[in-house]
Amino acid sequence: MARLIDRRDALARLSHFTGGLSALAFTNQTIRAQAQSPEFAPTIPGPDPAPRAPTFRASPLTCDTHCHIFGPVAQYPYAATRPYTPPEAPLPAFKALHARIGVERAVIVNATTYGRDNRVILDAIAQSNGRYRGIGNVDERMTDRELEALAAGGLDGCRFTFISRLGGRPDMDAFDRLVLRIAPLGWHVDLYLEAALLDELVPRLEALPVPYVIDHMGLVDASAGLEQPGFKKLLALLARDEKCWVKITGPERVSRTGPPFHDAVPFARKLVATAPRRVLWGTDWPHPNVPFMPNDGDLMDLVPMYAPDEHTRRLLLVENPARLFRFRS
């Protein structure tokens, strides 16, 4: 598997990144705040500072269903115990990126760097005039009233990670109890896991009382081909369980050849063809912990390769996210 970008690369890319901040509408104030806070010194690179305008023109109300906001750390400090420290990628940069590539709606996924603190996404949603929804970080210590407040603030689900570098799998008994508590909110669960785990997890997933969304195409290995066992298990689950959704995100995580990530396209196309009404597209901006840093214009230009006809593209980009994330008409 391609290596993650290491600290030396992170610092080099950060220098390039801050040189192009105007393209992403960063402010000098947010950069100074992070530079003056050694405990928040980035350990990974930021996104490509010059996203190109894509050739593909997305439909009105296109939704980026998987993206993050980081900082400003002076206002939204990262958790003291966190698996990595990203450069700031605050709301102005987030808006500028979406304007550049033709995205009008977004689902902001709170990252593990924030622990249970969901303020960064709640505040963005509150300013969005209905254009943003969110996926939060929760645990059993939260009261029902706190969970209800998150739902009232625009969250539609909560995320669980099963990735070792992000802390490993959750306590599955606690997972089951929490799922029962969020079900009355109309939420779903967002699952960051490798498709190889599905052999073990499928019985539990099929028994869930809520929908579930598998991130980043199950992190399959593009070099292992469409017949790899994990991907076949993912396809079968998507085909038979109406509660199962898959995010067509993270080609830079699936690819083994690098940009423009065409080796990831057959996997996306197969998922889209299997359940065109239960797939979702997103950028994963600003791309934390990736083996290859993408240009987001390139990611948008992959969409017509994933979904060759206009009807399916509209499902992927507009109608499916509107239904799952309950966007107002």
Give the residue numbers annotated as catalytic, written as ranges.
Answer: 284
Kindly give, in sequence order, each residue whose CB lies less than 8 Å from that of residue 175, ignoring residues fewer than 6 positions away: 160
Tokens describing residue 157: 């689900």
Compute the half-sphere exposure of residue 274: CA atoms within 13 Å on the CB side of its CA: 26
Tokens 């909110």 — which residue? 185
Cα-to-chain-centroid distance, residue 314: 20
Tokens describing residue 328: 């107002």
Q: Please tell me the distance from the alpha carbon of residue 180 to that of residue 151, in angstroms, as a whole number.
A: 15
Long-range contacts at 309-314 (CB < 8 A, ≥ 24 apart) = 312/272, 312/276, 313/59, 314/59
Cα-to-chain-centroid distance, residue 289: 12
Contact 241, 210 (CB under 8 A): no
Q: Please tell me the distance from the alpha carbon of residue 108 to that of residue 93, in angstroms, as a whole number.
A: 14
With CA atoms as reference, report the closest residue to 234 among 181, 187, 198, 263: 198
In the chain, alpha helices (H): 7-19, 28-35, 91-101, 119-126, 144-152, 172-182, 198-206, 229-240, 251-254, 265-274, 296-301, 303-306, 310-314, 320-324
Tokens 């009807």 — which residue? 311
In 3-87, alpha helices (H): 7-19, 28-35
